[in-house]
Structure formats: structure tokens, C-alpha cells
Structure 1
Amino acid sequence: MVPTKPQTATILLVEDNPGDAELAREALENSKFINQLHVAEDGVKAMAFLHRQEPYTDAPRPDIILLDLNLPKKDGREVLAEIKSDEKLKSIPVVILTSSKADEDVIRSYKLHANCYIAKPLDITRFFDVVNNIKEFWMSIVVLPHKGE
């Protein structure tokens, strides 16, 4: 199978760990894909971004969301449930990218309609590989929905 042409994508990374956010940013920016990456440090900020509330009134609609589960203020499970129950947001693919490998987190995430679940590797090189694989799959192989659908 020949991959389709790489897409330009707007990505919302919801990650409270500054180190992981920076590693993801580096991995996404050092690629052949032209990405617009936005980072929300907690679930409340993520939902404000998605609903274009202050201070995110000019925020673009993301093509894909990379979501950590263990977040302050509003955890990733709540964010996922909110996204997938909102008619305007539910078509946005949500990739769970978290440190948890717990069966209950995996099962609950899929029951809440996560598009995939990936446990973050602890090794930096492996983390870059995982982010690159996410990028390759979601931006080169998958056809993403048009903005606003």
C-alpha cells in the first residue's frame, strides 16, 4: 500500500508534563509534515481551546488531539467524554498518549470512543519513535475529516 501525500495538520497536544510536551513538539516539528502544534497543560484549558473560549477565541479547530489521561483540573477521561459527546467536536480523532498501561484505562478510553490508545514509552528514543509513528499514520495514511465536520 502506497501512503497518500502527507497532510498538513493542526494538532492539539493535551499534556501537563513540560518534558513530554517538549519531546512531542520536537518530534512533530522535525518532520516532513507541516504541523501547527498547540499545547494545553490541563483539561480545563483543552476544553476552553476546543470551545474557543478566552484566551483561545482565535484557536483553530484541531485535526487531531493527542490526549494524556492524568491531567490536573479536569482529567483526560473527562475531556475525552466531553469531546465525544459534543456534536461539533466528536469527529476529531483523539489519540490517547499516556503513561498508564492499566487495563481499566484502556477499556474505559475505548468505551468513551478514543480512536487509539498508546502507552508512552519511558525511553526518549522510543518516545520519538512512537510520536513519529503517530505522525506517519495520522498524517500520511489516514484521511482526516474536513474542518468543521
Structure 2
Amino acid sequence: MHRKLPAMTILIADDDIDDRMFLERALRQNGYTQEIQFVEDGEELMEYLHRIGRYNELNAPWPNLLILDLNMPRKNGFQALEEIKEDPKLRRLPVVVMTTSSADEDVVKTYNLGVNSFVTKPFNFNRLVEMIGALKTYWMDTVKLPQ
């Protein structure tokens, strides 16, 4: 007997169109068939999370997991992460930083701001598929997320 999976939405905040495409392909190759939403910078991310403008509740399903790039225009990932974790309505949202940086100071800063995981984007698509598989197994199949 198969159990029905709860509806799940992944929100990806990344300004690079190629990275967004590769992340979506890697998720799909790992069997993720549910909703994926994209925003291009920290300002748009906060509009999405606060349901501002085009992101009303009908157009923007609530994310169960946020994959956040650090290097984005207008509002970077550090600023967005800080806003999310300071807001009582948003702070339970699990955030995985996925960035090209592997600098110790970025790792420390994001964990001090409350990130749930920090991973460095691989430069090889096959490695990205493996990494996304591990993230999917952990965040979607193992842990219980708040609804």
C-alpha cells in the first residue's frame, strides 16, 4: 500500500537562470514531481513569502522548503535569511543555502542567522543530481516538516 504524500512545494531563490534550470532538472531526475516555485532575488523572495502583489495565496503555494542562493541582486541571501528568521510567521520555514561560496565566514554567518543547512553548488551536473538526491531524501523523506 502506498501512502499519499502530502502536497509539498520547494521555493528556489536564485538569480541565475541556468542554476534554476539545473536545480529543477536535478529535482525531477530524483523523482520529485511536486511543485517548484522560483524567485530571482531577495526582494522577490520576501514578496512571495509575505504574499505581496502577484504572490497572493492563490498564485503562491506556501513553501515547505526554501533553497536560497546568497549572491543575488537587490537583496542578497544573507539579508533575506535574516528577515526570514526574525519574522515569527516565517522562521519555521526550513532554509537550505545553496551557493557557489565555500568560505568559512559565509558558512558561519548563515548558521548564526539561523540557516538549516549550507551546501556549496557543485560545478558538475551529475554531482548536483547526487546532492539534490541527498537533500530530497533528508528533507522530503526523512524529517517531519511543519505544515
TM exceeding 0.5: yes
Is 1:20 equivalent to 2:19 in the alignment? yes
Aligned length: 143
What amino acid is the match of 1:45?
E
Written as runs of structure 1 = structure 2, the 5 A alignment for 1:117-136 is 117-136=118-137
Point out 4+ residue stretches in structure 1 off by more than 6 angstroms: none
Provide the rounded CA distance (Å) in 1 between the counterparts of 2:89 and 2:6.
22
Q: Secondary structure at the match of 2:35?
A: strand
2: distance between equivalents of 1:7 and 1:101?
34
Aligned to 1:53: 52
* Equivalent position amino acid for 2:71 in 1: N
Aligned partners of 2:63 and 2:131: how far apart in 1? 20
Q: Please tell me whether the aligned partners of residues 15 and 67 of structure 1 are also in contact (alpha carbons under 8 angstroms).
A: yes
Give the TM-score normalised by the residue count of structure 1.
0.90
SS state of the match for residue 117, structure 1?
Answer: strand
> Offset of 1:9 from its aligned partner?
1.6
- Partner amino acid for 2:45? A
Residue of structure 2 in register with 1:72 after alignment: 73
Q: TM-score, normalised by structure 2?
A: 0.91
| SS in structure 1 of the partner of residue 84 of structure 2 | helix
Using the TM superposition, give the Cα deviation of residue 32 of structure 1 relative to its aligned residue in structure 2, in angstroms. 3.2
Between 36-45 and 130-139, the greater mean CA deviation after superposition: 130-139
Query: Which stretches in structure 1 are left out of the alignment for 5+ residues?
Result: none
Question: After superposition, where does 1:94-109 map in structure 2 within 5 Å?
Answer: 94-109=95-110
Residue segments in structure 2 that go unaligned for 5+ positions in a row: none
